[in-house]
Each structure stands twice: as structure tokens, then as C-alpha cells.
A and B are shown apart, each in its own frame.
Chain A
Amino acid sequence: MRQSVRLRGMAGLIVYYAHPGHKYSHVNRHMARAAANLPGITFVDLYRDYPRFDIDVSREQHRLLAHDVILFQFPLFWYSTPSLLKEWQDLVLEHGFAYGAGGDRLAGKVMMLAVSGGGPEDAYTLQGYQQYPLRTFLTPLEQTARLCRMCFPAPYVLYASLKAPAAGLVEPHVNGYRRLLEAIRDDRYDFERAERLDVVRFDDLPIREEP
């Protein structure tokens, strides 16, 4: 059954940041710093915690249980997540924990994405050179969330990320990210509206004034 999200009080938010090319990043690096400096949320730099891909499954599952909103922040690599985040999914979202018989421990939580793509917005159309809308490439993650009975609101997206510095879009995107995280933390993010949207950008965030 599809969960409609009503998070009461403080919604525990955990941000998983995955970027192996951290020091070459144009946008994600700044987003990560903003998230890491935000009080009241948990920030995990996956490549820092597991530089040798040696993921501690129990520890990660405990982290998931302790939070209500799980947000993955990453750049799109070959229409998917960076490999460590895939390894994390393979190991942590265990049968009997996240799905399958008795696997309902994540039910009712939120899985959200903050992704950046290299191509411009018009490339992610049926006529564009990427051939498909961005959401099509994210369907494996979306269905992962569904199988775990988690809610999957519209991802926070930046297109043409490599050109963002020249276009002056880094700062507004990072500021938007901070507002988004604060809204989730303070229970002001309108998940119901976000679920009906395709993607959200820094200029159309579904944020309420009051919790």
C-alpha cells in the first residue's frame, strides 16, 4: 500500500553523499559542505566512510532505522549512481530487512534524490540526445523505494551541471539545497505535493511556511 507521508515533529533526515571525484566537483562539493554544516541532520560522505568499499551492513541498517528521510546526493554517472552507492544498495537493502518476507523495516520512510546531470534540460526529452526524460533513468531507484514501501518524492535536480559555474547557477542551486534540507528537517517540506511533481528545482521548491 502506498504510504502517504505525514511526518510528525522532527523528521530525522540523513543525507548520503556519494562522489568519488569529490575534488573535481563543480556543484556537489558545495552542496555537500552546505549539508555537512547544517545542524540537526545527519550527513554521511560515503566515499569517506568506506574508501575501500568495505561497507558495514549492520551500521548502515542502524542508520536507516534511526532516520525517516533518506536522501541520496550524487552526480549521475552513466545514468546511474556512483558505484559505491550501488554497492551500498546491494549490501544494505537486505532481503528480510528492506524487502521480502519480514522485510518491512523501511516501510513508510522517504527516499529522496538530489542529482546533477551533465546534459542540458532539453537533452532529457524524447527528441533530445539523451532520448528519455531524466525520471526514466531514475526508475531503478524509484522501484527500489517502492519495493521497500518507501515514498519517493520528486528528485532535486540540476541540469547542465558542468556549465553551472559559468551560468552562475551554483550558488542558487546550493542555497536551494540548503532550504530544502532545512524544510525537511523542520517538517515544512510538502512531500504530498513533491510526490506529484516530476522534478523540483531551486526556484520551485514545495516548501510550506509553517510546519
Chain B
Amino acid sequence: MDSVLLLAVLFLVAGVIAVPIATRLGLGSVLGYLIAGIALSPLLRQLHVDVVSIQHFAEFGVVMMLFLVGLELEPRMLWSMRNRLLGLGGLQVLVTAAIMAFIAMLLGQPWSVALTVGMILSLSSTAIVLQTLNEKGLMQSDGGQSGFSVLLFQDIAVIPMLAFIPLLALPELAAMHGVGSGEGHASLSLVGQLDGWQQALVTVGAIGLVVGGGSYLTRPVFRFIAVARLRELFTAFALLLVVGIALLMLLVGLSPALGTFLAGVVLANSEYRHELESDIDPFKGLLLGLFFITVGAAIRFDLLYANLGEVMALTAGLIAVKVAVLYVLGRAFGVGGADRWLFALGLAQAGEFGFVLLSFTVANSVIPVALADQLFLVVTLSMLLTPLLFILYDQAIAPRFAVTQAREGDRIEEQGSVIVAGHGRFGGIINRILLAAGFKTVVLDYRSDQLEVLRAFGVKVYFGDAMRPDLLHAAGIDEAKLLVIAIDERQSATELVRYVTGNYPHVHVVVRAVDRHHVYELWAAGARDIIRETFDSSLRAGRSALEALGVHPYDAERQVRGFVQNDREQMLELASVFDPSIPAHENPAYVEKTKKYMQRYEEVMRGQSAAFGSRLDRGWVPPTLEDIEAERAAAEAAQRGGGSAPGS
């Protein structure tokens, strides 16, 4: 227990110190974690910590990341990127693996070792690249999307590689190892003893379970959990979902990353998407951070110093070949300008699956341990250099293309999205108006019975409490243009206004107020677009009353408009003196102003002052008889001095 706490403190301290420094220096969080790991490594060695086993544990962050990536991808989107996925991704793996294998043979390796090395080095680091692209906001760019397609293909390609590599075992190594049965996941596998067709059946069944369960089972389970209204239960269930699927995949011999990715895609259309996203995200971040720290900590500097020149040369060669292949493929698939460089430089490293495959190959006696240790260094070093390649892109390449990019950006006017919090009688109407006008909305509500009904009618709503900052973030508050707060609880609405106006000043907030005092509270919290929920209907009722009493409909309309004008001016003045920290009746300025308005109201009622609508009637008050006389004289004077009429 003590040692676990000690380790936790060590890792957390290293991360908390190194990452902010790295980010401030523009190096990105990944390099920060790697440096933290390097700094920790002597200490860890002193404590005899098994860094590699921690790394295996932390690899679960990659699984979670792919689940989150899947959540962002609807099946339709996945289908639409099939060309890049298979074409670009497939060619990248094939061509890179072939060239790498060729080079390895030139360096004197036997063909089976060369082929394995080629496969290992053809993979890139999903963890580093996706994390960095997201941080830099480049995920949606053409280069980011192409990179994502390739990474996704690589993650899938790992599965056949794991199946293929044991066939390349070297007899002499196997003899040395004795029985070649060190496969990491073998102890868990259920399918090891089955025939090929049975294995296939089990595999299809497991995938069917993930797809079917994701589509039909999660909803009732979520509804069941929602009844308890405990936030941690959602987190627990979200974790259970991801861990459970990963376990199932391991049992049937599939990649956990692929399985959770699939589950993510299945759930991408679900109303619980944003909830799941915000629940899993912190775990993913922590585990990935841990993973990068262990990568840094596992660098064997003794080995590095012994073969410095060789390792450096191999790493440089690896990066150069990968950049060249990616650049040429990017060109062939129409990735243009700065995006092509982003794509080529971003994916130039070897990846975490390289580590997995390396330990797997050693265990299966495919490549000798000494070579594996050296390759381990090459893979690590290439990952360590990736942030530097991104910096190269940012500093040297992106600015050169900045002019053309900016012009293209102008043409595509990105429509900021709208978040509607609360989809009841109030928010529902707002949402319908926005949708009818062609705006994209994300609707959040936490009454899951209501969600069922709305979903049935095809309204896109998500489960979740808008009061949670992480959920707002998942719903896209960073890029949102507008937030509509239409929730019933007045206190919650006020807090939400305070949070959003304080942290996201670029977001316009339209908020529903319960009554007059709520308006003042919201005003004090920073809202400026406040709508009283019953005000407009009361006005219409008042107008109907006037009409029923025989007032001409147009006069009634103007009377009501005058009332609105007057009321708004009054509210604005009172809001400026309202102080939410003291009750209204103990606020002297507020009491003073209210008294003044009440007095004026009484004057109006007794007919001592012009009515509310007076200002609006001005245009229709006819001149007096004297006025008409004066006007005639003035007009005649103007005509006398006028000369010839202009125009012809």
C-alpha cells in the first residue's frame, strides 16, 4: 500500500511539474510527460519499480482514447472515410513495412526478422499524435483527418500482425527459449484451444455482442441508473462498459482498442454520448500521461550511450523513410499544402504498439533480445522526437502556408453551434425555432423519460446535467456561439450563467428568468439577454383584455408596447442597483428607485401624467389650428424663394 501511494505521488508530482512547464514552452503535454519520466527514471530504478508492467497497465489509456474517438465518429462518417482508411492507411503500412524490411535485410538481418521489424516500425503512435492534434486543434484539418485514418487502420492492422508474427519464429531462438509460450494474453484467451471456424464464430459473436449490446442494452441500463441520480454511478458504468468490452476482446483474442472503438462508434448516436465522454475523459488523460511517463522512464540510457551513433542513425533513418512515404502518399491522395506536411511529420514516429509487438516477438522467439532492445530505443527516441517535429511544423512550415490557408478559411464560414440546456416547454420551442432556421443544436436534459419521447420524434437530445463543467465541455462550449439556459431551477440557472460568462466570455447567453428578482440575480451574474418566462404571454393577455373592453386593436397594441418600453427601462435601472448579497428591502438605493417608480405609476393611474404609450403616439397627434396656419405660411414662403423646380 505504502509503495503504491509513493509511486502515485512520484508520478503525479512529476506530471504536475513537468507538463505545465512543457506546455508553457510550447512543447506540448506529451513531451512534458516524457521528460517527467526521464527525470524519474533513476529514482524508479533505485526503488526497483517494474516500469514495463506499469506501462502495460497504462496502455489502457490508448483503449479509452479509441473509445472516445469512436464516440466522435458516427457510422456514417466512418463509412465516408473508407477510401482514406483503406487506401491511405493500407498503403502506408504496406509500403513502409516493405521499405523497412528491405533496409533491415541490407543491414544483414534474415528475411523473417526483417519482415517483423518492418511491421513493427510501420506503425505510428496513436497516443501521441491524437493527443497533440487535439491539443493544437488540428484534428479537423485535412492533415489531421488523414492522419487519423492512417492511425485507425494501423490499430486494426495490429490484430493480423499479432496472428502472423508467431509464424516467423526462428528455430534457433526457439530452441534457446525452450518452449515459446510467453504470449502475454495467452492465459486469458478462451479461443486458443478452438478450431479455426469455431474461433471465427466466437469472434463474430463477440463483435455482435458489442454492437448489439451497445445499440439495445445501454439505453435501458442508463435509464435504470438515472433513477438513482448519483453522478458517480454513471462514471462507474462508463468504466465498466469500457473495461468490460476490453476484457471480452482479450478473451476472444481481438484487440481491446478495436473493440472499444467499435463500441464508441455504436454509441456515437446515443443520447448518453456526452455523458460517457465526460466520464471517461479524465481517466484517459491520466492513463495516457502515465503511459508517456513510463516510456520516458524505460529509456535505457546505458544502452543508448553504448550505441549512441548507431541508434541515432537508425532513428533518423526511420523518421526520414516514414516522412518520405507519408509525403508521397499524401500527395497521391490529394492532401495539400501545409496539411500534407502536418500529415507526414506528425506520423513519422514508431508507436506504442511497437512496444507491444516487440515484447510479443521476443516472447515468440521471432527476433533476438539484443536487437529488440536496440529497436526499443529507436522506437522510444522517435516518439521523443515527435513533439519536436510538431514544433518544426508550427514554426517553419505552417507560417509559409498561412496566407493561402487563411483565404480558404474565409470561404468556409464555420457556423458556431448552439447548446440548449433544458428541453422542457420553454427550451423545446427555442430548439425547434433554431433547427427550423438551420442552426445546429446540442440539447442537454437530465430527465431520461423525456429524452426517450424526444428521441422517438427524432429530436437530437443528450442526457446530462448542464451544470457540470465537463459535460458542457463535451457538448462543445469551447466552440459554441450561443448557450440557451432554459432549465427550471432558478438557482442552477444563475450559477450556470455565472460560470459561463466568467469562463467563456465569447459565448452569448440567453437565459430564462422565473420572475423579476431572478432577472436581477441573472443580471448580477453577468447575463444580458434575459427573458422572463411568463412576461410575453402576460402582455398578450393584457392586450386581449384591452381589446375585449372595446379599445381599438391598434391602440391596444401601442398601449402594450408603451408598457414594455417603460417596464424595460425600469428593470434596467433597478438591475443596476440590485445587490444579490443583500435582500432587496435592505438595499437603500433599490428601495429609493422602487419608490420613485411606484409614485410615477400612481401619477399615471390618476391621469396626472402622460400614459405609458404617450411616446409612441407622438407621430399621430395632429397639429393644432394655429399650427396649421403657421405651417401654411412657412410653406408659401418656401415656395416663393424656391425658383425653378428641380428635375424635368
Chain A interface residues (CB < 8 Å from chain B): 1-2, 54, 57-58, 90-92, 94-96, 99-101, 103, 133, 135, 142, 146-147, 149, 152-154, 195-196, 198
Contact A54 B561 (CB under 8 A): yes
Q: State which of B627, B642, B647 has its C-beta within 8 Å of the C-beta of A2.
A: B642
Contact B638 A1 (CB under 8 A): yes
Q: State which of A2, A133, A154, A196 has its C-beta within 8 Å of the C-beta of B641.
A: A2
Please tell me if B196 contacts chain A, counting CB pairs below 8 Å.
no
Contact B561 A154 (CB under 8 A): no
Chain B residues near A96 (CB-CB < 8 A): 623, 627
For the complex of A and B, the 6 pairs showing the least CB-CB separation, nearest first, are A1-B641, A91-B619, A101-B630, A100-B631, A135-B647, A95-B623
Contact B646 A196 (CB under 8 A): yes
Contact A154 B615 (CB under 8 A): no
Cα–Cα, bound, A91→B616 (Å): 9
Most-contacted residue by chain A among B561, B621, B623, B639 (CB, 10 A)? B623
Contact B618 A101 (CB under 8 A): no
Cα–Cα, bound, A95→B623 (Å): 7
* Closest chain B residue to A196, Cβ basis: B646
Given contacts A146-B639, A195-B646, A198-B648, 14 further A-B pairs with CB under 8 A are: A54-B561, A57-B615, A94-B619, A95-B621, A95-B623, A95-B627, A96-B623, A99-B631, A101-B634, A103-B634, A133-B647, A149-B638, A153-B646, A154-B646
Contact A57 B619 (CB under 8 A): yes
**Chain B interface: which size bin?**
20 to 34
Cα–Cα, bound, A92→B619 (Å): 7
Closest-CB distance, B642 to chain A (whole angstroms): 5
Cα–Cα, bound, A90→B617 (Å): 11
Contacts A2-B638, A101-B626, A146-B642 given; does A154 touch B647 at CB 8 Å: yes
Please tell me if B637 contacts chain A, counting CB pairs below 8 Å.
yes
Closest-CB distance, A84 to chain B (whole angstroms): 13
Chain A residues near B623 (CB-CB < 8 A): 95-96, 100-101
Please tell me if B635 contacts chain A, counting CB pairs below 8 Å.
yes
* Closest chain A residue to B623, Cβ basis: A95
Chain B residues near A152 (CB-CB < 8 A): 646
Contact A94 B638 (CB under 8 A): no
Q: State which of B615, B627, B628, B634 has its C-beta within 8 Å of the C-beta of A58.
A: B615
Closest-CB distance, A206 to chain B (whole angstroms): 13
Contact A99 B634 (CB under 8 A): yes
Contact A198 B619 (CB under 8 A): no
Cα–Cα, bound, A116→B417 (Å): 37
Closest-CB distance, A60 to chain B (whole angstroms): 11
Chain A residues near B550 (CB-CB < 8 A): none
Within 8 A of A (CB), among B569-628: 615-616, 618-623, 626-628
Closest-CB distance, A114 to chain B (whole angstroms): 16
Most-contacted residue by chain A among B626, B643, B647, B648 (CB, 10 A)? B647
Cα–Cα, bound, A91→B561 (Å): 15
Cα–Cα, bound, A95→B621 (Å): 9
Contact B618 A146 (CB under 8 A): no
Contact B638 A146 (CB under 8 A): yes
* Closest chain A residue to B645, Cβ basis: A142
Contacts A1-B638, A58-B615, A94-B619 given; does A198 touch B647 at CB 8 Å: yes
Contact B627 A101 (CB under 8 A): yes
Cα–Cα, bound, A83→B129 (Å): 59
Chain B residues near A90 (CB-CB < 8 A): 619-620
Cα–Cα, bound, A104→B625 (Å): 18
Closest-CB distance, B572 to chain A (whole angstroms): 15
Chain B residues near A146 (CB-CB < 8 A): 638-639, 642
Q: State which of B618, B630, B641, B646 has its C-beta within 8 Å of the C-beta of A57.
A: B618
Closest-CB distance, A128 to chain B (whole angstroms): 16
Closest-CB distance, B569 to chain A (whole angstroms): 12
* Closest chain B residue to A53, Cβ basis: B561
18 contacts between A and B (CB under 8 A): A1-B641, A2-B641, A57-B618, A58-B615, A92-B619, A94-B618, A94-B619, A100-B630, A101-B627, A101-B634, A135-B648, A142-B646, A142-B647, A147-B635, A149-B638, A153-B646, A154-B647, A198-B648
Cα–Cα, bound, A179→B638 (Å): 32
Chain B residues near A154 (CB-CB < 8 A): 646-647
Contact A91 B618 (CB under 8 A): yes
Cα–Cα, bound, A41→B647 (Å): 28
* Closest chain B residue to A100, Cβ basis: B631
Cα–Cα, bound, A196→B623 (Å): 34
* Closest chain A residue to B633, Cβ basis: A101
Contact A100 B634 (CB under 8 A): yes
* Closest chain A residue to B618, Cβ basis: A57
Closest-CB distance, B562 to chain A (whole angstroms): 10
Closest-CB distance, B354 to chain A (whole angstroms): 56
Chain A residues near B622 (CB-CB < 8 A): 95
Within 8 A of A (CB), among B549-569: 561
Chain B residues near A95 (CB-CB < 8 A): 621-623, 627, 631
Chain A residues near B631 (CB-CB < 8 A): 95, 99-101, 103
Contacts A96-B627, A147-B635 given; does A2 touch B618 at CB 8 Å: no
Cα–Cα, bound, A133→B648 (Å): 9
Chain A residues near B635 (CB-CB < 8 A): 147
Closest-CB distance, B565 to chain A (whole angstroms): 8
Closest-CB distance, B15 to chain A (whole angstroms): 50
* Closest chain A residue to B648, Cβ basis: A198
Cα–Cα, bound, A198→B645 (Å): 11
Chain A residues near B616 (CB-CB < 8 A): 54, 57
Most-contacted residue by chain A among B619, B631, B639, B642 (CB, 10 A)? B619
Closest-CB distance, B98 to chain A (whole angstroms): 56
Cα–Cα, bound, A151→B262 (Å): 75
Chain B residues near A142 (CB-CB < 8 A): 646-647
* Closest chain B residue to A149, Cβ basis: B638
Closest-CB distance, B619 to chain A (whole angstroms): 4
Chain A residues near B638 (CB-CB < 8 A): 1-2, 146-147, 149
Chain A residues near B639 (CB-CB < 8 A): 146
Closest-CB distance, B643 to chain A (whole angstroms): 6
Most-contacted residue by chain A among B620, B635, B646 (CB, 10 A)? B646
Cα–Cα, bound, A133→B645 (Å): 15
Closest-CB distance, B248 to chain A (whole angstroms): 54
Chain B residues near A195 (CB-CB < 8 A): 646
Cα–Cα, bound, A154→B648 (Å): 11
Closest-CB distance, B409 to chain A (whole angstroms): 20
Closest-CB distance, B566 to chain A (whole angstroms): 13
Q: What 1/0 flags go to B479-494 for Cβ under 8 Å of A?
A: 0000000000000000
